[in-house]
Amino acid sequence: MIVKIFLWGAVVTLPVFLVQIGLASLLGGINMGTLARNIIYWFFIIACSEELFKYLVIKIKVTGSPNLDEPLDIMLYMVIAALGFAAVENVLYLIAPVGQRSLNQIIDHTLIIALVRFVGATFLHTLCSAVIGYAVAISLCDQKNKFLEASSGIVIAVLLHGLYNFSIMTLVGSLKLIIPVVIIITLAILTFAGFKKLQKLKGICKLN
């Protein structure tokens, strides 16, 4: 099941990229300011599509499975799907066309991508998915507020994911580094706290 979810997380990158290309094309035909365009692109087109598709992997492939019987399982499966997604995304960035770059420029490009993508982006994907996994797990243990709890996790993940991308791609100066670092630390704290809470629910919330 772990291998299956990892592979589905990898496969889902294709529809995500197609959706992003299509929406970006539509956005390009709309007349608006640069700030508004960047916000829509990084928060809604990029962050929202990626988080929703990773969630759909779990919703479709894990919900109802006999391999899902504890709240913590959802959080773990979300992380696994995110790792599959990040693996393919990172490789695609590495093999992007290098054009007329010199050998040194290609090496520098690869090192930068390895640092930014393999470290920052991988942490971002896995931690955002962990937050969603926690929220979904809590929602399944509390049918009364099921929709609110699950959707709040998705919204938080999308906002932090979007802010991370927006910061590193559009801001300048120290904020370009400070904001992403703060976001990763915040996500890590939320993930750790969520993991501990789901461990406590292990004995009192069984999933069918």
Enclosing domain of residue 98: 2-201
Model pTM score:
0.87
Decide if 49 is inside a domain. yes
* pLDDT confidence bin for 142, thresholds 50/70/90: confident
Residues 6+ apart with CB under 8 A from 15: 53
* pLDDT confidence bin for 129, thresholds 50/70/90: very high
Note the pLDDT tens digit of each residue in 184-202.
999 999 999 999 998 887 6
Ranges 22-26, 44-48, 68-72, 86-90: which has the least confidence:
68-72
Decide if 119 is inside a domain. yes
User: For residue 141, what pLDDT is reported?
Assistant: 81
Phi-psi region of 8 (alpha: psi -120 to 50; beta: other; left: phi over 0): alpha
* Per-residue pLDDT at 119 exceeds 80: no
Euclidean distance between the first and the last CA atom of the chain, given in angstroms as a whole number: 16
For the chain, the domain total comes to 1
User: For residue 123, what pLDDT is reported?
Assistant: 92
What's the rounded mean pLDDT across residues 66-93? 89
Decide if 181 is inside a domain. yes
